[in-house]
């Protein structure tokens, strides 16, 4: 059985920026970097950030702050120790989490949506009370 229990791939215009964001937000470690991708891991999860091929990437405009791209079929979810701390880390790394008033309870956790630096919608969850 592999050491990694689950994983995901996210396509990026700026691989380094997105890899830094997910490393900061979710505590993932950069374990491999190549010209067209980065691999981040935790004990049981692997995230591969893959460069969007040209010329597609040149047609994508990333606003500052990034605009939410919510019309996708998948949303990455990360468990964090503290939503307030995750909110600060996300903001500092170029993304953001929705305000505290938009948090909700889900299966014993507090949950909150947000965006990465390229506008991909994400979700973070923390144990209730954190």
Q: Walk me through the domains of the chain, giving residue ranges and CATH numbers.
A: 6-55+64-127 (3.10.180.10)
Share of residues in the chain with pLDDT > 70 (%): 98
Instruction: Indicate the DSSP class of residue 35.
Output: T
Per-residue pLDDT for 73 more than 90?
A: no
Q: Give the H/E segment covering residue 13.
A: none
Q: Collapse the DSSP code of 116 into the 3-class scheme (helix H, G, I; strand E, B; otherwise coil) and give the result.
A: coil
Say how far apart CA 16 and CA 22 lie, in whole Å. 10
**Are the C-beta atoms of residues 37 and 50 closer than 8 Å to each other?**
yes
Residue 52, preceding peptide bond in cis (omega within 30° of 0):
no
Tokens 């969007």 -> residue: 52
- Helices 83-92 and 15-26: crossing angle in degrees, nearest 10, is 160
Kindly report the average pLDDT of the chain as a whole number: 94
What is the pLDDT averaged over residues 99-121? 97
CB contact set of 113 (below 8 Å; sequence gap of 6+): 75, 97, 98, 102, 121, 122, 123
Tell me the pTM: 0.92
Summarize pLDDT for 4-51 with one digit per residue, the tens.
889 999 999 999 999 999 999 999 999 999 999 999 999 999 999 999
Per-residue pLDDT for 1 more than 50?
A: no
């Amino acid at each position: 059985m592999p050491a990694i229990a689950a994983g995901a791939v996210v396509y990026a215009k700026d691989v380094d920026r997105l890899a830094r964001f997910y490393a900061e937000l979710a505590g993932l470690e950069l374990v491999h970097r190549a010209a067209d991708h980065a691999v981040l891991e935790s004990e049981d999860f692997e995230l591969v950030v893959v460069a969007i091929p040209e010329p597609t990437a040149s047609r994508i405009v990333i606003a500052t702050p990034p605009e939410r791209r919510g019309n996708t079929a998948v949303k990455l979810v990360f468990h964090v120790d503290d939503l307030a701390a995750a909110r600060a880390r996300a903001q500092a790394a170029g993304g953001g989490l929705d305000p505290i008033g938009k948090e909700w309870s889900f299966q014993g956790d507090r949950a909150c949506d947000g965006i990465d630096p390229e506008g991909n919608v994400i979700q973070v969850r923390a144990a209730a009370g954190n």
